[in-house]
Structures are given as structure tokens and as C-alpha cells.
């Protein structure tokens, strides 16, 4: 019987049906049972033993089955797939674990007065319902904002110099950028302390902290932006110049818009690099517990600093504060990422 065109339903013949999946599933179940049995009768004990044995049994049984159905190459394919899946799981586990631990510990301390009060009149050992971290939130936002204002233009312009202009000294600058991305963060803080706070009228404040963070952020932004700009096909640069554009016009109207999403990613990675840094802030922001709206003067707080202080105190209440501070820092960074992505995506669509 032939079907008319209207009666043909879209199908996916390349996908396995549940019936075909069943043996694989059964083999995995059997591997699990085997690993439980081996743990029970041998001296191997612990979660790690289960995971290791399950990996060995599962990989072996699946690849033997593939070998019998489709031959040696398929067996090798099954082994490599299984190793790759295990690797991906190993990488993914800590990320999930960190998130889960932070959320489960941090949520307990969440309440509204965190966002309206400071630690000026409360102690870290007080129950978490006393005091708040408004001062630290404001400080971190200032630090991120000023660091972005300083680092994003500088990073992207440096990347443009290195990939587009390739002017004199490009190799040397490339070397410096690479060396800078290896600077330990505490050194960045110490450098700003020695070169600015001690010798100039600028004292410990949000802007001094942002200087230190910029030392870390500029190389991150530069290197990511460079990678992204190198992905823009050379054809487009030639096409622009063949239309009688100067190099600057070609870069501004063609290369940068073509790389826009990647440049936003570069900015996000730069912010991610600095948002949780504590070490550069130790000597540069003063770590105040008081709300300070002036980023250019007086001691400033910051979320990582708040977390660090909480951990140092070591009482259950102060450690609870630290967990909640970490959770709020995570949420803040996540919000910034989402904002950057949607702002970037929207302009693309409206065009």
C-alpha cells in the first residue's frame, strides 16, 4: 500500500526504538548488579569502588555486545564513547557539586534584611537575621562596573591592535599579555598598594580595588577577544577594503559587528575572572562594614571580602554568613551574564 504525500508522517529512522535500547539498558543494569556483588565479596569498598567497577563492567559488556553485532571497529567505538562520557561526567560532577552545596547551605541564611542592612551595627557572630550585606553588594557592583569600564575597552583595543593592525611591537605586547595572564592575583593587589595607595592621594577605595582587578581582567578580555577576532574570515576584511574603506572603517563596521557575540563573551569571561577575587582586594579596598556610595573615596566592602571575613571568624553564624554571601555572589554573576547575553542578542535581532 502506498501512502499519499499528506499521509506520510515525519519519522526518525536513525533513532533506536525502546525495544532496541532494551539490551543496552539490561547490560547496564547487570553491570550495576555485578559491581554491587563484587564490592560485597571483595575487600574493595566505598563509592569510588562502585563507580570504578560499574565503569569497567559497563564498558566491557557494551563493547562485547557491539563486537558481536557489528565487529571490532564498533567495539572500539563503544569503548571510546564510554571513556568520553566518563570524562564529561568527571568534569561536570564538581560543577554540580559546588552549585548544590552552595545553594543548600546558602539558602538557609537568605532573608530580606540582607539587602537593606550592613554589618556596621552588627557582628559576624550575631545570628544572620541581624545585619546584612548591602555594603558588600554595592562594593562588588562598583568594583565590577569600574573594572569593566577600565578593562573592556583596553582589552578589546589591544586585541584589535594585535589581530588587525599588527603594528610595531605586536609580538612584544602579545608576550606581555600572556605574562600578565599568569600574574598571581595577590601580586596585582600588592602592586596597586605599593604603586598607588602608598604613593598617590588615591587611598584604599573601590577605584583602587578596581585598578587591581583590571590587571587581572585586561589579559583575559584581550586573549578571548583575540581568539574571536581571528575567527572573522579574512574575506570580509578584503571585501571591506575593496569597497574603498579605510582599515579603521572596515574594522568598525564589519569585523567588530561580525565578532560581536564573541566580544560579549570575552567581557563575560573577564567579569567571571574578577567577580570572586579576594586576594587583590585585601590591600586595596579596606574591607569596610559600612555602606559607602562613593567609589572614589573611603573604605569599601565587597562580597568576596564579606565571605572571607565570615570564614575567618569561624563561628557557625559567621560561616552561615559566608555561604549566603557566596550564593548571592553566584546569583549576581549569573544575572550579569543573562543581562549581557540578552542585551547582545536583542540588538542582533532588531537589525
Partner 1 sequence: MTFSYDKDDGDDMSVEIALSKSSLGDVAKERAAAKTPGNAPLGSGLEARSIHAWFGKHHAVSDISLDFAAGTVTALIGPSGCGKSTFIRTLNRMHEFIPSAAMAGEVLLDGKDVYAKGTDVTKVRLQIGMVFQKPNPFPSMTIGENVLSGLKLAQLKVSDRDDLMQECLERAGLWSEVKDRLGAHAGGLSGGQQQRLCIARALAVKPKVLLMDEPCSALDPGSTLRIEDTIGQLAQTMTIIIVTHNMQQAARVSDYTAFFLSDGGPGSMIEVGPTNEIFSRPRDERTENYVSGRFG
Which residues contribute to the site for partner 1 (CB under 8 A)? Answer: 166, 233, 235-246, 249-250, 253-254, 257-258, 260, 348, 351
Interior CA angle at 331 toward 312 and 87, to 5°?
Answer: 90
Q: Residue 283 corresponds to which cell in the numbers above?
A: 590591600
In 3-state terms, what secondary structure has residue 198? coil
> Least separation, in Å, of the C-beta of 256 and partner 1?
9
Cβ nearer to partner 1, comparing 137 with 232: 232
Exposed / middle / buried, residue 182 (Cβ in 10 Å: 0-12, 13-18, 19+)? exposed
Cβ nearer to partner 1, comparing 103 with 245: 245
> Least separation, in Å, of the C-beta of 285 and partner 1?
39
* Contact between residue 284 and residue 266 where contact means Cβ atoms under 8 Å apart: no
Q: Residue 331 corresponds to which cell in the numbers above?
A: 546569583
Cβ nearer to partner 1, comparing 53 with 266: 266
Cβ nearer to partner 1, comparing 41 with 242: 242
> Least separation, in Å, of the C-beta of 343 and partner 1?
16
Reduced 3-state DSSP string for 312-345: HHCCHHHHHHHHHHHHHHHHHHHHHHHHHHHHHH
CA distance 276 to 4: 62
* Contact between residue 264 and residue 341 where contact means Cβ atoms under 8 Å apart: yes
* Contact between residue 318 and residue 163 where contact means Cβ atoms under 8 Å apart: no
> Least separation, in Å, of the C-beta of 267 and partner 1?
18
Cβ nearer to partner 1, comparing 89 with 253: 253
* Contact between residue 164 and residue 255 where contact means Cβ atoms under 8 Å apart: yes
Cβ nearer to partner 1, comparing 5 with 231: 231
> Least separation, in Å, of the C-beta of 242 and partner 1?
4
> Least separation, in Å, of the C-beta of 254 and partner 1?
5
Amino acid at each position: 500500500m502506498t501512502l499519499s504525500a499528506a499521509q506520510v508522517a515525519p519519522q526518525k529512522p536513525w533513532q533506536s526504538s525502546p525495544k532496541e535500547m532494551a539490551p543496552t539498558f539490561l547490560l547496564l543494569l547487570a553491570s550495576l548488579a555485578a559491581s554491587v556483588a563484587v564490592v560485597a565479596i571483595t575487600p574493595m569498598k566505598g563509592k569510588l569502588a562502585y563507580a570504578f567497577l560499574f565503569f569497567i563492567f559497563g564498558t566491557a559488556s557494551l563493547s562485547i555486545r557491539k563486537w558481536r553485532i557489528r565487529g571490532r571497529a564498533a567495539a572500539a567505538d563503544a569503548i571510546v564513547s564510554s571513556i568520553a562520557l566518563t570524562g564529561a561526567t568527571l568534569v561536570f560532577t564538581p560543577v554540580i557539586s559546588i552549585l548544590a552545596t552552595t545553594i543548600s547551605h546558602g539558602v538557609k541564611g537568605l532573608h530580606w534584611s540582607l539587602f537593606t542592612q550592613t554589618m556596621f551595627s552588627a557582628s559576624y557572630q550575631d545570628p544572620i537575621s541581624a545585619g546584612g550585606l548591602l555594603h558588600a553588594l554595592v562594593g562588588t557592583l562598583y568594583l565590577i562596573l569600574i573594572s569593566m569600564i577600565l578593562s573592556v575597552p583596553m582589552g578589546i583595543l589591544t586585541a584589535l591592535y594585535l589581530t588587525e593592525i599588527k603594528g610595531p611591537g605586536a609580538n612584544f605586547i602579545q608576550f606581555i599579555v600572556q605574562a600578565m595572564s599568569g600574574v598571581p592575583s595577590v601580586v596585582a593587589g600588592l602592586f596597586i598598594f605599593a604603586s598607588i595607595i602608598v604613593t598617590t592621594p588615591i587611598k584604599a577605595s573601590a577605584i583602587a580595588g578596581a585598578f587591581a582587578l583590571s590587571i587581572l581582567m585586561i589579559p583575559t578580555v584581550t586573549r578571548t577577544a583575540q581568539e574571536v577576532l581571528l575567527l572573522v574570515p579574512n574575506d570580509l576584511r578584503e571585501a571591506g577594503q575593496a569597497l574603498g574603506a579605510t582599515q579603521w572603517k572596515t574594522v568598525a563596521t564589519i569585523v567588530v559587528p561580525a565578532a560581536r557575540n564573541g566580544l560579549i563573551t570575552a567581557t563575560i569571561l573577564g567579569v567571571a575572572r574578577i567577580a570572586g577575587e579576594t586576594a587583590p582586594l585585601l590591600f586595596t579596598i579596606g574591607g569596610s562594614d559600612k555602606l559607602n556610595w562613593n567609589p572614589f573615596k573611603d573604605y569599601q566592602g565587597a562580597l568576596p571580602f564579606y565571605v572571607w571575613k565570615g570564614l575567618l571568624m569561624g563561628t557557625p553564624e559567621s560561616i552561615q554568613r559566608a555561604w549566603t554571601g557566596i550564593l548571592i555572589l553566584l546569583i549576581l554573576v549569573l544575572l550579569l551574564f543573562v543581562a549581557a547575553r540578552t542585551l547582545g542578542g536583542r540588538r542582533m535581532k532588531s537589525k
